[in-house]
Homo-oligomer: A and B are copies of this chain.
Amino acid sequence: MTELNKQRWLDEIKWTDEGLVPAIAQDATTGRVLMFAWMNRESLAMTVEKGEAVYYSRSRKKLWHKGEESGHIQKVKSVRLDCDNDVILLAIEQIGDIACHTGRQSCFFREFSNGVWQTMDAVIKNPKDIYK
């Protein structure tokens, strides 16, 4: 646990019953929304300390320093909080220009069109070449 963990700015956040808060990561330059994940108290404190996005993986039940395997680190430019104190918005620089585990720039690569979810964005890099 870090010193930051004890600080008041973390107490202002309305954590879920599981101690989490949703976090949106947006490209600081283009404004594109890249991904959505969850943070716990420790991961948000680490995000601010490191200046790199650290999430909490609900499936793996552990801290997830984004890019730890892929190298696709997210350099944090700003951290914002919403009016209800229950959502975090990160403005980031996405190293490698790939935020999605499918090898795409953004996780939001499908758009609703003609009654179906259409894939709109190409894979930049094969996931097999990202996660070795």
**CB pair B36 A117 closer than 8 Å:** no
Considering the chains assembled together, what is the distance between the CA atoms of A31 and B31 in angstroms?
A: 5
A63 adjacent to chain B (CB < 8 Å) = no
A side interface size, CB within 8 A: 37
Given contacts A9-B112, A89-B108, A112-B9, contact A81 B117 (CB under 8 A): yes
What B residues does A107 contact at CB under 8 A?
Answer: 82-84, 87
Considering the chains assembled together, what is the distance between the CA atoms of A131 and B32 in angstroms?
A: 31
Q: State which residues 82-132 of A face B: CB under 8 Å.
A: 82-84, 87, 89, 100-102, 104, 107-112, 115-117, 120
A interface residues with partner B (beta carbon < 8 Å): 7-9, 12, 22, 24, 26, 30-33, 35-36, 48, 78-84, 87, 89, 100-102, 104, 107-112, 115-117, 120
List 28 A-B residue pairs with CB atoms under 8 Å apart, sorted by A's residue number: A7-B115, A8-B116, A9-B112, A9-B116, A9-B117, A24-B33, A24-B36, A30-B31, A31-B32, A36-B87, A48-B112, A79-B111, A79-B112, A80-B108, A80-B109, A80-B110, A80-B111, A81-B108, A81-B110, A81-B111, A81-B112, A81-B117, A82-B107, A83-B100, A83-B102, A83-B104, A83-B109, A87-B107
